[in-house]
Structure formats: C-alpha cells, structure tokens
C-alpha cells in the first residue's frame, strides 16, 4: 500500500517509519528543506528507542522523504496528516497547519484518497477538513476523511505503534474503513509478529491489538478523552500523595492497594512532580475549550490542571524544607526531559522547577542522558552541564531527581554520598526505597512518603594519590 505522511515531527516520523516496517511504501512530507535533507542523509532528529534502526532499515527504500506534497498525494492511497496543532492563547488547538495541508491535498487529488487525521484535533475537525477540501475543488466522490488517533508515549513510541492495545479507525464509510484496515492488517492479523527481524515485543503487551471501528467524531473524542483521563489519574494520585504526607502514610502502599483493583489498574498511578510533555498539557486545554464551545464547563479538567501546577510548587517547598535558604546553594539536578526515554523538554516539570530554583539564586549543575542539548537552547547558559550524575553531585548541597530515567534508579548510592557536600537527596520521582536510602546514610525526601534520616554514616573513600 502507498501511504503519505504529512509532517515529520514526533508522530509523523514514528508513524512513517512504522508503516514502512509493516511493508508499505511510505513518503514522509515536510516543508522544512533542511529537515528533509537531514532525514535523507540518515539523521535521526529525536531521541526514540528503535527509531534509528527503522530509519536505517527502510530509508531510501520503502521509506522516502520529500518537500513535494502534490506528488506524494498523487502516489498515495492514504494521506495521514501529522502536523502540529499548538495551543492558542485561549487554549484552543491552532488548526491552521491542518487547514493548509487540507487545501493543498484538495488541489492535487486525481483518484480516490483517504485523508486521515493523525494529529490530535478537536471533534468536528474531520467535518471542517471535508468542507475545506470541497471548497478548494476536490470532487466529493474522490475522497473520504477519517480519524485515526495515535496513542504513542514518548520513549516507547515505536513499540506503542507496533504493539498497540487498540487501533481506533474513525471512518464514516465502509470504503474508507477498508483502506485503514489494510494499513494496519499486518498488526491485526499478527503477521508482523512472525517476522524474524520484528521490533522486540514489550512486556505485558496484548497478543493482538483490538480493532475499534467508530465514526470520525467518536475517534476524535476518544483521543482527547483518553489523554484527559490519564492526566486525571496522575493528578489524582498526586493529590492523594499530599494527604499521605500530612498523615504519615506511604503513597506507594496506597498505589499498590488501589492499583490492584482491576477496575483501576496500576498504570499512571505514579506520584511525582506532575505530567508534562507535548500532549497532556496541550490536549487538556484543548478538550476544555471544546467542552466550553459545546456549552459545558468541564470543571474537573480545571482541577486536574491546578493540581499538576501545584505539584511543582510542593516540590520546591520540599527543597526549602531540606535546605532552609536557597540563595547560593549548589544543587545537582538529575533530569531535564519531561520523562525518561526522550529528549523532549516541552512543558517539562524538571525545566520548570530548575528555572524556579535559578530565580531563587541557586547554582545548578545538571545532567540528563539525552536532553541537555535541547535544554541548553532554552536555559541560555544559566546552568552547568555535567557528564554524569556523579559529576553533577560533586560538592553539591543536595541532589534533586526530576526525571525518571532508568539509570537514575540504579545509582551507586555510596558514590553519591561520597560526592555530595551534604548527604541530601530530594526525589521527585520516587525512584528509591526510603529504607535503602537511610541504610546508605542519606537524608531522603520523596513524594507522598515519610522523610527518612540516615541510620548509618557511610565513610567517604580516601583518594589514592597514586
């Protein structure tokens, strides 16, 4: 099957590479000439597991890159729109890029096409795309508009695409639905999973994805409602963590108790410094704007957003509790990305907290396995970047953990203790067991759990002059 993907951002690039992995002929279109040239030369612009391998495997063969949208449309049966939908000042999604692409597609349709919303868009967008295309001369019988929302998590986007829980096909005609079924047939049938060189199956994935056929409007709502619900789970458990701190309970034990209920489940019950990234903040404000336009005040979303913002302030209070005054303090900050496994710093709680600490007069030394280059573009030389977590910790007054990278959960705690000026760790991701930290002589603050004092004092190693 011939597929065009318009937009080579996070969603578009992952979708294009994965459709090629499924055996389709894929053309990824972008109007950024420099980006297209970099992709053609084999560069991977984002940090995403397995993506470099897929680009190397299929690039120049079943996966190509171009600036020529018209030619890509003429060659393809399905055109997936994966351009940005940034928030406007009032929280609504800016659909100008989607509209521009729809106009361009309309002008070059010469045979039946399925135009697919892959970007996260408000309900009714499919109707507007159809109207715009008709107004720009596209024959009504030569196209359908569908919604095929993505459910990709940064850091695991490739495996999320290839091993999904469900595939939602929002198609209003059977002809349109059949084109989408063909696109995903290797996953639904299980044929892809028999391939020797298939991307490894992640733990706890479904044996076969569930295929859900809906109307286009229902599919549009499924995406926004899904992200809103997941953000609500995060804010809910963070609110519970605040109560746990007040009464001396352990939020991890509470999570285990409520997460074992099959109606609730353990996923996204992770107390910390709050959600961030390019999806949840934007999608919640957009969904709230959609509800408002429909005459419904979705106050629950207001509270989800408020709790998330307050969680960052609560963490700053923990830092003050541990250090009293902040001006002049040297702090080691581990993590800049909004979550582990990605270099994305958009709406990152870590960057927000770090910026607040700089305003307090702190000296910051930071380390992140992937996001330091992107952060440097935003922070403008106001922090020092270390080559490792241990280098960041050297002579710091405290160590702050702000991103849940796997390597941060496996630090040599004796080495951390020896590096720090004071043995203080403030963990915004609950990566460590408090008793373990106490055993290693560390003063440990976390989220929703009692603070612990060191039970033993670990001796600092004596450096060998040789």
The two beta strands, 113-117 and 63-66, are unpaired
Give the pLDDT mean for 183-205.
94
Q: What is the pTM (predicted TM-score) of this model?
A: 0.90
Are 2-213 and 312-445 in the same CATH fold?
A: yes
CATH of 312-445, one of 3.30.1330.60, 3.40.50.1100, 1.10.357.10, 3.40.50.720: 3.40.50.720
pLDDT at 459: 55
Nearest CA to 155 out of 340, 377, 361 is that of 340
Q: Taking 80 as the threshold, does the pLDDT of residue 466 lie above it?
A: no
pLDDT at 456: 64
Please calculate the CA angle 449-267-14 and round it to the nearest 5 degrees. 125
Report whether 417 contacts 440 (CB < 8 A): yes
Q: Taking 90 as the threshold, does the pLDDT of residue 462 lie above it?
A: no
Q: Where are the domains of the chain?
A: 2-213, 224-307, 312-445
Q: Is 454 exposed, middle or buried (CB count within 10 Å of its CB: 0-12, 13-18, 19+)?
A: middle
- pLDDT (tens digit per residue) in 223-248: 999 999 999 999 999 999 999 999 99
Q: Taking 50 as the threshold, does the pLDDT of residue 102 lie above it?
A: yes
Nearest CA to 7 out of 84, 106, 109 is that of 84
Give the pLDDT mean for 453-457.
78
Q: Strand locations in 98-140, DSSP E?
A: 113-117
Largest Cα–Cα distance in the chain?
81
Contacts of 322 (CB under 8 A, 6+ apart): 398, 424, 426, 443, 445
Domain 2-213, CATH homologous superfamily name and number: NAD(P)-binding Rossmann-like Domain (3.40.50.720)
SS (H, E, C) 31-65: CCHHHHHHHHCCCCCCCCCCHHHHHHHHECCCEEE
Give the pLDDT mean for 331-358.
96
Q: Taking 90 as the threshold, does the pLDDT of residue 204 lie above it?
A: no
Cα(58)–Cα(187) distance, rounded to whole angstroms?
A: 18
pLDDT at 89: 82
Active site residues: 279
Question: How are strands ordered across the β-sheet holding 330-334?
Answer: 384-385, 363-367, 330-334, 398-401, 424-427, 443-445
Report whether 348 contacts 337 (CB < 8 A): yes
- What CATH number does the domain located at 224-307 have? 1.10.1040.10
Q: Strand locations in 53-137, DSSP E?
A: 63-66, 78-81, 113-117
Q: Taking 90 as the threshold, does the pLDDT of residue 287 lie above it?
A: yes
Q: Strand locations in 189-287, DSSP E?
A: 210-214
Cα(234)–Cα(268) distance, rounded to whole angstroms?
A: 6
- pLDDT (tens digit per residue) in 419-452: 999 999 999 999 999 999 999 999 999 999 999 9
Residue 191 tokens read as 């044929």
pLDDT at 460: 52
Residue 465: pLDDT band with limits 50, 70, 90: very low
Q: Taking 70 as the threshold, does the pLDDT of residue 200 lie above it?
A: yes
């Amino acid at each position: 099957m011939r597929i065009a993907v318009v937009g080579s951002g996070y969603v578009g690039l992952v979708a294009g590479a994965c459709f090629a992995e499924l055996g389709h002929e894929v053309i990824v279109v972008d109007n950024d000439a420099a980006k297209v040239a970099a992709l053609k030369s084999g560069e991977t612009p984002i940090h995403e597991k397995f993506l470099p391998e897929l680009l190397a495997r299929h690039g120049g063969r079943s996966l190509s890159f171009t600036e020529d949208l018209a030619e890509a449309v003429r060659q393809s049966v399905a055109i997936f729109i994966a351009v940005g939908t940034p928030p406007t000042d009032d929280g609504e999604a800016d659909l100008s890029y989607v509209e521009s692409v729809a106009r361009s597609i309309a002008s070059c349709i010469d045979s039946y096409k399925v135009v697919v919303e892959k970007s996260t868009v408000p309900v009714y967008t499919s109707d507007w795309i159809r109207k715009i295309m008709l107004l720009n001369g596209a024959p009504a019988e030569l196209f359908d508009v569908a919604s095929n929302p993505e459910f990709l998590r940064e850091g695991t986007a490739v495996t999320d695409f290839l091993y999904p829980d469900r595939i939602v096909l929002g198609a209003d005609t059977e002809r349109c639905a059949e084109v989408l079924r063909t696109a995903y047939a290797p996953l639904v049938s299980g044929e892809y999973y028999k391939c020797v060189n298939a991307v490894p199956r992640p733990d706890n994935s479904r044996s076969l994805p569930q295929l859900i056929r809906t109307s286009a409007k229902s599919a549009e709502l499924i995406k926004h409602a899904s992200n809103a619900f997941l953000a609500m789970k995060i804010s809910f458990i963070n609110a519970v963590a605040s109560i746990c701190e007040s009464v001396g309970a352990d939020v991890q034990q509470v999570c285990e108790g409520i997460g074992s209920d099959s109606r609730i489940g353990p996923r996204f019950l992770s107390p910390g410094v709050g959600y961030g990234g390019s999806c949840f903040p934007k999608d919640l404000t957009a969904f709230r704007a959609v509800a408002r336009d429909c005459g419904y005040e979705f106050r629950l979303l207001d509270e989800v957003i408020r709790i998330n913002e307050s969680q960052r302030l609560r963490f700053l209070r923990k830092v003050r509790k541990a250090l009293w005054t902040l001006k002049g303090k040297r702090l080691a900050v581990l993590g800049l990305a909004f979550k582990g496994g990605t270099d994305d710093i958009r709406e990152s709680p870590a960057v927000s907290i770090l910026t607040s600490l700089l305003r307090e007069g702190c000296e910051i030394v930071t380390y992140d396995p992937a996001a330091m280059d992107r952060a440097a573009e935003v922070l403008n030389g106001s922090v020092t970047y270390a080559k490792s977590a241990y280098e960041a910790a050297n002579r710091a007054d405290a160590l702050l953990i702000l991103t849940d990278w796997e390597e941060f959960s496996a630090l040599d705690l004796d080495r951390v203790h020896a590096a720090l000026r004071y043995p203080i760790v403030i963990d915004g991701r609950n990566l460590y067991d408090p008793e373990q930290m106490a055993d290693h002589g560390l003063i440990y603050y976390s989220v929703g759990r009692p603070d612990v004092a060191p039970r033993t004092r670990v001796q600092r190693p004596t450096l060998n002059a040789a």
